[in-house]
Amino acid sequence: ELAQIGVTGLAVMGRNLARNFARHGHRVAVHNRSYAKTESLIADHGDEGAFVPSASMADFVASLERPRRVIIMVKAGGPTDAVIDELVPLLEEGDIIIDAGNAHFPDTIRRENALKAVGLHFVGSGVSGGEEGALLGPSIMPGGSPTSYESLGPLLESISAKVDGTPCCTYVGPDGAGHFVKMVHNGIEYADMQLIAEAYDLIRQGTGKSAAEIADIFRSWNEGDLESFLIEITAEVLAQVDPETGQALVDVILDQAEQKGTGRWTVQNALDLGVPITGIAEATFARALSGSVPQREAARASLPGHVAEWSIRDADAFVEDVRQALYASKIVAYSQGFDQIAAASAEYDWNIDRGAMARIWRGGCIIRARFLNRITEAYERTPDLALLIADPYFTEAVSAALPAWRRVVAGAAQNGIPTPAFSSSLAYYDGIRAERLPAALIQGQRDFFGAHTYRRVDRPGSFHIEWSGDRSETAIDG
């Protein structure tokens, strides 16, 4: 009997995806470069369902029903290309290769083009949820051709997380759309994590509460609007005691945040598209700052703080302010991420349904959160919504939080607590809603030194001042 789907690359993610398919009653072909991993999968979990192990890629491909559906779960970049090159001669027209790793979307576009030319479907799919998600139900973001989704979609939907019975998997859009959306998901993940870290730091430094006490605060926050996987695990991490020293674990972890690159890609793409994703960018740079070891040493040795006396009279009220500031900043970060998806969708002709993306992020993925329901509802109300914060629900939520948000950012600045994500999100909020921006002055400066011209508020066209002459204005023909 032939297998319905195959997984090659049986490190922890691939292994768990294969087990998830088997547990859902699908016959799953499994392959790994070294057969030992395949054998250990069968030895440890062979009783969970129908696995078809193969030692060679040729046998693996031969064990699949047509159209063949092959999931590649190896490292992004060169290793993925190597596996594709090995598969292509073994496959036949109409077969589907699925790359479920964290690929960079331009690579996905390139691969899809190349494989289309030889009659194969290539599906770049985001998969979020870590090891546990892969096994118990991830959020899945497949791109590629709509035809490939007809055959692949039901299988992926069956193993995805479900929220209110709805699968956290849907067709995202052509070629690189799936991996793009996963990339932005990770960018939002960076922003959300940074915001949570800033909230923790403010409370710790502002009130002197212990990590364990702050764990309890996060637990209580997880009962309200902030309910999310990241808040939940934050409480777990803060409550953890270091077995060796008996201190809070968070106090013995080196304070240098690492990354594998998806956040950086998100910011790079936002710069290309000109989308101000300031929350994600600050979060990515905050990781970079934390890892700037020589610079931090030099700065610690010499730079003064001149901070005000930190006087928080009512700790509970301050904690509540931080909670509200966190929620408002989080709304801004998501709004910016959805803006980037809209801009990319227009730029690359992907026709991405933003409400559907919020829907498939409600479960399974790292940024799963109660408030994603609100995002879906906002895009259902207004499918072409220009700005998520301008939806009535979010406008109301942010405006209710605004006084607290301003108090927190001002207090942090006066007391020398770095809050790049909180502060930049508030600056974005005030910038985007401003009646007039000083961008007008920048245009004047540009015209002065480079004759770059400016447009006027009162009539169409481009204009230039004879700065070094009589300072008269000339209209420039377009």
Rounded CA-CA distance 283/137 in Å is 28
Q: Which is nearer to ligand 6PG, 100 or 211 (CB)?
A: 100
Q: Does 131 bind ligand 6PG (CB under 6 A)?
A: no
Q: Does 197 bind ligand 6PG (CB under 6 A)?
A: no
Q: Is position 475 annotated in a ligand binding site?
A: no
Rounded CA-CA distance 30/54 in Å is 6
* Single residue of 20, 38, 63, 102 touching ligand 6PG by CB under 6 A: 102
Q: Provide the b/e sequence for 148-176 (b: ≥16 CB within 10 Å).
A: bbebbbebbbbbbbebeeebbbbbbbbbb
Beta-bridge mates of residue 70: 6, 97
In 3D space, the residue among 273, 86, 108 whose CA is nearest the CA of residue 182 turns out to be: 108
Q: Which is nearer to ligand 6PG, 131 or 466 (CB)?
A: 131
Rounded CA-CA distance 136/140 in Å is 12
Q: Quick one: tokens of 36?
A: 């030992």
Minimum CB separation of residue 261 from ligand 6PG in Å reads 6
- Is 182 a catalytic site residue? yes
Q: Which is nearer to ligand 6PG, 131 or 396 (CB)?
A: 131
Of residues 189, 198, 282, 330, which has the active-site annotation?
189
Window of 160-168, 205-213, 255-263, 452-460 that interacts with ligand 6PG by CB under 6 A: 255-263
Q: Is position 10 annotated in a ligand binding site?
A: yes
- Is 189 a catalytic site residue? yes
Q: Which is nearer to ligand 6PG, 194 or 335 (CB)?
A: 194
Contact (CB, 8 A) for 410 and 206:
no
Window of 64-72, 127-135, 388-396, 431-439 that interacts with ligand 6PG by CB under 6 A: 127-135
Q: Which residue is nearest to ligand 6PG (CB)?
A: 128
Minimum CB separation of residue 176 from ligand 6PG in Å reads 16
Radius of gyration of the chain (CA): 25
Rounded CA-CA distance 317/469 in Å is 60
Q: Is position 46 annotated in a ligand binding site?
A: no
Q: Is position 14 annotated in a ligand binding site?
A: yes
Minimum CB separation of residue 401 from ligand 6PG in Å reads 27
* Single residue of 32, 186, 284, 345 touching ligand 6PG by CB under 6 A: 186
Q: Does 260 bind ligand 6PG (CB under 6 A)?
A: yes
Q: Does 108 bind ligand 6PG (CB under 6 A)?
A: no
Beta-bridge mates of residue 248: 241
Of residues 48, 131, 162, 182, which has the active-site annotation?
182
Residues making up the binding site for substrate: 102, 128-130, 185-186, 190, 260, 287, 446, 452
Binding site for ligand 6PG (CB under 6 A): 102, 128-130, 186, 189, 259-260, 262-263, 365-366
Residues making up the binding site for NADP(+): 9-14, 32-34, 74-76, 102
